Amino acid sequence: MLAYLIRRSRGLMLAATLASVAAGLCSVLLIAQINAALTSDAENRAGIAWLFAAVAVALMLSRMSSAVLFERLGQHALAELRRFISRRVAAADYRHLERVGSARVQSALSEHSTNVAQFFVSLPVILTNTVVVVGCLCYLALLSWQIFLMAIAVIGLGSIGYHLAHLRAIRLLDQASSEQDRLFGHFRALTDGAKELRLNRPKRGAFIGEVLEASIDGVRRLRTRGMSLFVVSTSWGQFLIYAFIGLVLFVLVGGGPDQTRVMTGFALVFVFMVTPLEALLMNIPRANLARVSATRIGELTADMPGMEGTAEGTAPTRLERLVLKGVTHGYYHEQSDDVFELGPIDLTFEPGEIVFLVGGNGSGKTTLAKLLVGLYPPEGGEIWLNGERIEAHNRDAYRQLFSVVFSDFHLFERLLEAPRADLDEEGNRLLAKLHLQHKVRVENGAFSTQALSQGQRKRLALVVAYLEDRPFLVFDEWAADQEPLFKEVFYREVLPELKRMGKAVLVISHDDRYFPLADRLVRLESGKLLAAEAVAGAEVV
Ligand SMILES: Nc1ncnc2c1ncn2[C@@H]1O[C@H](COP(=O)(O)OP(=O)(O)OP(=O)(O)O)[C@@H](O)[C@H]1O
C-alpha cells in the first residue's frame, strides 16, 4: 500500500526526497565549516564565513521545501487512500462487503488512512537525519578510521536490540489495530443503538462497561505496550550513543600530537549527531505504525473482490422474460455451525405482472430478492434474461434492470439515480400522490428534508424507485410500517399503475388481506417454494 502511494506521486516524492537529502548534506557541510572555522587562522576565516552563510541559507531553503513537499504528499496520500478505499468498497462484491462489515471499512477510512498519511510527515525527518548521521560518520572516518569502525560496531549492536524490540512492538500494534476495528463497530452501536441504551439501564451499563470500555482499554493497553517497547528500544539506542561518546572521548583518544584537533572534531560531530539520531529513533516507530495501518488497508482492499462485470455490457432497458432455473444460495452460520439453504428456486417473471412473495420470518424472502436482483450470484442454477444467460460478465448490467426498496433501504441526500430534466416536477407530483407535498419537496434534485417518520421516509424511497423508471420493481415489506390509508394507496393504486405501465413487480408482503390482488402468489417456507396446491387465494407459483 505504501509502495502504491509512493508510486502514485513519484514526481513529488522524488522532489521531496531530494530536498531532504540536500538538507541533510547542508547540515553536514555546516558542521564541517564550523570545525574548519574553529581550527583555521584569521585570514582564511572570511572565505569560510561566506561559504557558511551560503550553506546556512541553502539548509533553510531545502528544509522548508522538504517539509512543505512532504506535508503535501501526506495530504495527497490521505485523499488518495480515501478515494481508493471508497472506490474499492463501492465496487466490492456485495456478499463480501456484508461479511467484512462497516466497522472495518470505517476504521480504514479514518484512523488507518490518517496513520498512513503520517508516514509522509515522518519520512522527511527520517531521510534528512539519515543523511546527517551517515555524513557525520563519513566525516568521523576522515578524522579517524579506527573510531569510525568502532562507531559502526556500536550502531550494529544497537540495531540488533532495536530491531528485536521492534518486531515485538509491531506485533502488538497489529493486535491493537484488530481491536480497533472492533471498537469502531462499538462506536457505531453507541449512536445506532442510542434509543435502546437509554431505555435499558442494565444494558447501557453492560455495554459501556463490559463491551465498549473493555475494547477502548484493549486498544490502549496494546498500543501502550507496543509504543513503550519502541520507547525502550529508543532509549537503548540513545544510551549506546552516549556510551560510545564517553568511550571515544575518555578512553580511545590517546595523547597524540593531533589530540586537540581530533577531540574538537569529535566533540562537534557527536553533539551535532545526537539530535538527528534521536529524531531518527523517535520517527521510525511512527513509520512502523503507518506500515501496520497500510497493511490493514491492504488486507481489507486486497481480499475485497470487485463486483463482476462492472466495466462491460449495456444495461438492459427491456424485460421480456426473466427465468430463475434451480437457483440456490446458502448462508453458513459459524456460531451454530448450520447452513441456511435457499432453493432450488424455479420462477418466471414477465412484464405487467404483480407477483407477491410471502412466507414466515426467516423463510428466505429477502435472500431470494437479493438473488433475483443480482446482488448475490446464484451458487447453483441459472438466471436467464430475455433469452440470455446472466453470468459474471453481464451481472452488473443485469442489476440495472431493477429498482428495489429493501426494508433497510438508504436514502441518499441527492436524487443521484435519475438524471432527468423534469426531476423536480415529476418528484413533486409523486410526493403529492403519496400525500407528502406539505412535508417535503424535491428542489434542485434533492429532497428538501429527510427528517421524517420511517413510514414517510419509505414513501420517499418509493418516489425514488418510481423516478428510476426501471422495468422491474421489488418492494421488500414496503407497506409494513404504513398506515391503512397508504397500504390502500400502495396496493390499490400504486401497484395497478405500475402494472399498467408494463412493469414487473415483486412484492414481499405479510398483508394477507391484499394477497388476492396479486397476479401470482409465491410462498416460501424454510428456503423452499411451497407446492402450488398448498396456497389458497390467487394463482400460485
Ligand atoms: N447476511 C446474512 N448472513 C448470514 N445469514 C443470513 C444473512 N441474511 C439472512 N440470513 C439468514 O437467512 C435466513 C433467511 O433470511 P431472510 O432475510 O432471507 O428471510 P426473510 O424471509 O426475508 O425474513 P423476514 O420476513 O424476517 O424479513 C435466515 O435464517 C437468516 O438467519
Q: What is the DSSP string of 101-141?
A: -HHHHHHIIIIIHHHHHHHHHHHHHHHHHHHHHHHHHHHHH
Please give the average per-residue pLDDT across 28-39, as a whole number: 81
Ligand 1: does its nearest atom lie under 6 Å from the Cβ of 409?
no
Instruction: Give the other-Cβ count within 10 Å of 432's Cβ.
Output: 11
Which atom belonging to ligand 1 lies closest to the Cα atom of 510? 25
Is residue 329 over pLDDT 50? yes
Per-residue pLDDT tens for 146-201?
A: 777 877 787 777 777 777 887 788 888 888 888 888 888 888 888 888 888 888 88
Q: pLDDT band at 352, cuts 50/70/90? A: very high
Confirm whether 312 is domain-assigned. Answer: no
Question: Are 222 and 350 contained in the same domain?
Answer: no
Ligand 1: does its nearest atom lie under 6 Å from the Cβ of 503?
no
Ligand 1: does its nearest atom lie under 6 Å from the Cβ of 527?
no
Q: Which residue has its alpha carbon closest to ligand 1 atom 10?
A: 331
Cell (9 digits) for 279: 529524531
Closest C-alpha to 509, from 527, 524, 493: 524
How far is CA 284 from each of CA 13, 165, 231, 279, 504, rounded to the nearest angstrom?
18, 12, 11, 9, 61
Question: Are 338 and 468 contained in the same domain?
Answer: yes
Per-residue pLDDT tens for 406-432?
A: 988 888 877 766 567 777 888 888 888
Confirm whether 227 is domain-assigned. Answer: yes
Question: Are 385 and 500 contained in the same domain?
Answer: yes
Query: Which domain, by its residues, includes 451?
Result: 322-534
How far is CA 167 from each of CA 117, 160, 164, 171, 229, rounded to the nearest angstrom?
22, 11, 5, 6, 10
Question: How high does pLDDT run on average in the chain?
Answer: 83
Q: Which residue has its alpha carbon closest to ligand 1 atom 18?
A: 364
Question: Are 296 and 329 contained in the same domain?
Answer: no
**The pLDDT value given to residue 379:** 92
Ligand 1: does its nearest atom lie under 6 Å from the Cβ of 246?
no
Most confident range (mean pLDDT) of 92-106, 114-128, 284-298, 516-530 is 516-530
Confirm whether 314 is domain-assigned. Answer: no
Question: Are 327 and 290 contained in the same domain?
Answer: no
Write phi, then psi, for 510 (nearest 5 degrees).
Answer: -115, 5
Question: Are 292 and 333 contained in the same domain?
Answer: no
Ligand 1: does its nearest atom lie under 6 Å from the Cβ of 98?
yes
Residue that terminates a domain, selected from 269, 302, 335 = 302
**The pLDDT value given to residue 541:** 52
* Rounded distance from Cα 69 to ligand 1 centre (Å): 51
Residue 171 CA to residue 178 CA, distance in Å, equals 11
Is residue 309 over pLDDT 70? no
Domain total for the chain?
Answer: 2
Question: Are 255 and 327 contained in the same domain?
Answer: no
Question: Are 241 and 344 contained in the same domain?
Answer: no
Question: Are 343 and 475 contained in the same domain?
Answer: yes
Instruction: Specify the residue for cell string 400502495.
Output: 490
Cβ proximity of 161 and 226 under 8 Å: no
The CATH code of the domain that includes 86 is 1.20.1560.10
442: which strand partners? 447
Ligand 1: does its nearest atom lie under 6 Å from the Cβ of 363?
yes
Confirm whether 309 is domain-assigned. Answer: no
* Rounded distance from Cα 7 to ligand 1 centre (Å): 44
Closest C-alpha to 535, from 522, 517, 518, 519: 522
Ligand 1: does its nearest atom lie under 6 Å from the Cβ of 331?
yes
* Rounded distance from Cα 355 to ligand 1 centre (Å): 20
- Determine how β-strand 322-333 pairs with β-strand 504-508: unpaired
Would you say the C-alpha torsion 481, 484, 489, 490 has a positive or negative sign?
Answer: positive
**The pLDDT value given to residue 353:** 93
Confirm whether 317 is domain-assigned. Answer: no
Across 51-55, 127-131, 341-345, least confident range: 127-131
Question: Are 385 and 507 contained in the same domain?
Answer: yes
Most confident range (mean pLDDT) of 27-36, 304-313, 354-363 is 354-363
**The pLDDT value given to residue 356:** 93
Cell (9 digits) for 247: 568511550
Question: Are 349 and 402 contained in the same domain?
Answer: yes
Q: pLDDT band at 534, cuts 50/70/90? A: very low
Ligand 1: does its nearest atom lie under 6 Å from the Cβ of 95?
no
Cell (9 digits) for 12: 513529488
Confirm whether 206 is domain-assigned. Answer: yes
Above 0.90 for ipTM, yes or no?
A: yes
Q: pLDDT band at 279, cuts 50/70/90? A: confident
Confirm whether 57 is domain-assigned. Answer: yes
pTM: 0.72
Q: Which residue has its alpha carbon closest to ligand 1 atom 1?
A: 98
Ligand 1: does its nearest atom lie under 6 Å from the Cβ of 175?
no
Query: Secondary structure of 308-369 in the HEC alphabet?
Result: CCCCCCCCCCCCCCEEEEEEEEEEEECCCCEEEEEEEEEEEECCCCEEEEEECCCCCHHHHH
Angle formed by the axes of helices 42-90 and 113-143, nearest 10°: 150
Ligand 1: does its nearest atom lie under 6 Å from the Cβ of 528?
no
Write phi, then psi, for 211 (nearest 5 degrees).
Answer: -105, -65
**The pLDDT value given to residue 535:** 46
Residues above pLDDT 90, as percent of the chain: 18
Ligand 1: does its nearest atom lie under 6 Å from the Cβ of 523?
no
* Rounded distance from Cα 502 to ligand 1 centre (Å): 30
Question: Are 485 and 369 contained in the same domain?
Answer: yes
**The pLDDT value given to residue 25:** 86
Ligand 1: does its nearest atom lie under 6 Å from the Cβ of 377?
no
